[in-house]
Structure 1
Amino acid sequence: MISKLGYLSWEIWKSRNCAIFWNSNIEPMATITKARISETKFVEANKIDEQKQPFTNKRNSIENRNLYRRRVTWRPPIGDRLKANVDGAFRKESGKGAIAVVIRDNEGKVVAGSAEIVRATSSLSVESMALRSALILAKNLQLKNILFESDSLPLIQAVKVKETIGEIDPILRDIYVLMEGISNSGFTWTHRESNQLAHQVASLAINGRLNRNWTWDQPVEIRGIARREARITYKQAMTEQQHFQHNFQALQIVRR
């Protein structure tokens, strides 16, 4: 909450300076968007630092982990952008895997998705198949301005710089070709805790408990996660709007 207020105040101050010194118009939504982007980068950087910090004892470890999990949740895309979360489930003993794609808008509504049973050799291969499936789905639906999100750090690191990884090289080559056909796309890593919906879809699929029409006839498990995360998204948006209005009113008073 403090970081949201801090970055919002910073962007309001910059907008005020632009208005005073360069005669530019103050655009509230643009200011909010810039603040959200800066705050997101700050939060993500701190998540990585928290993971690296050792805990002094078992009790502190559990308490800190539970607190951390309560804070981490799915974050909506900014503006009119879409976000495609991908995940995979893998059973090493049988080589059976399941891949899941969930595409949502900035209100947390599921607009499209897919799930499929696959044969795989590792968790990484399943994760890469899921990302490829998301790109294929986006291309088939002619979607643009979309952010692809996965909790597989090695995969996202490779995709961002177009590296090759031996065991999944053919899949990566497909991904790199598909990327070129989707304008204004991006790729980002997220924690497992904020990738719960795609994870749940993959879990239900590999256990044979997912119906073919799950995107609109959602099972209880999926509907519960989707509604909870959409509710959090709405609350965050309302809080940010209230903070902006409060700070904007304060700014107007100062200018008078």
Structure 2
Amino acid sequence: MALVFKVRKKLVVGNWKMNGGLKRNAALLAGLAACGNREGVDVVVCPPYPYLAQAVAAVKGAGVAVGGQDLCAFKDGAYTGEVSASMLLDLGCAWVIVGHSERRSLFGEADAVVAAKVQAALDAGLSPILCVGESLAQREAGEAEAVVCSQLDHVVDVLGAERFAGVVVAYEPVWAIGTGKTASPEQAQGMHREIRMHLERRGVAAEGVKILYGGSVTAANASQLFAEPDIDGALVGGASLVADSFSSICAAAAAR
């Protein structure tokens, strides 16, 4: 089935990971508030759970949305330490990151768990950002595309093709996360194109699915990455903790 070209609005998401403090956040959020309300790009910030309410209040009216970094697949109950989709919604979140490589590798989240979390997010009305990506060993073994497609398949199998169209995909080569190494624009585009084509083969209306790139995205490389036709934005880690850097990335996305 041939892909149909469709202009997709850029999306830039800042993942603070386990960083922050009330005083530090206040200064950062004041700077990030200037990133919103740009034509051509949507902006999301994802601080740790304790700071979600602070972030929601700080960016209110600034055109910046707030999201969680993870969620529990269960609605409620005896799951000590977990945070549900409804709790994120109560605090004003609209988005949630699911299946980040650090959750998969450090906390043992299997593909089935990730799929259940994506389903829980959609069921509650949150917009999930599904992270997929391969390790350096898998890439060097020629398994990168197979690994990424398998991660996608687990979610498509649970949601179905029609519902998957409401998911944002973030391709993050594990070997590029926090390392300073970035996939070349050509490497990133190649995988993004394969993701879109694979989803199309699975019956998903893939021309409308946003696919973000993550992995040491900076103000210096953002423009080149965003120039590629299948790269619809970025999931930004370290650079999202510096207001000027994150703002520059958002500006680069808006320019495309």
TM-score (norm. length: structure 1): 0.28
Q: Which has the larger radius of gyration?
A: 1
TM (norm. structure 2) is 0.28
**Greater helix share, structure number:** 1
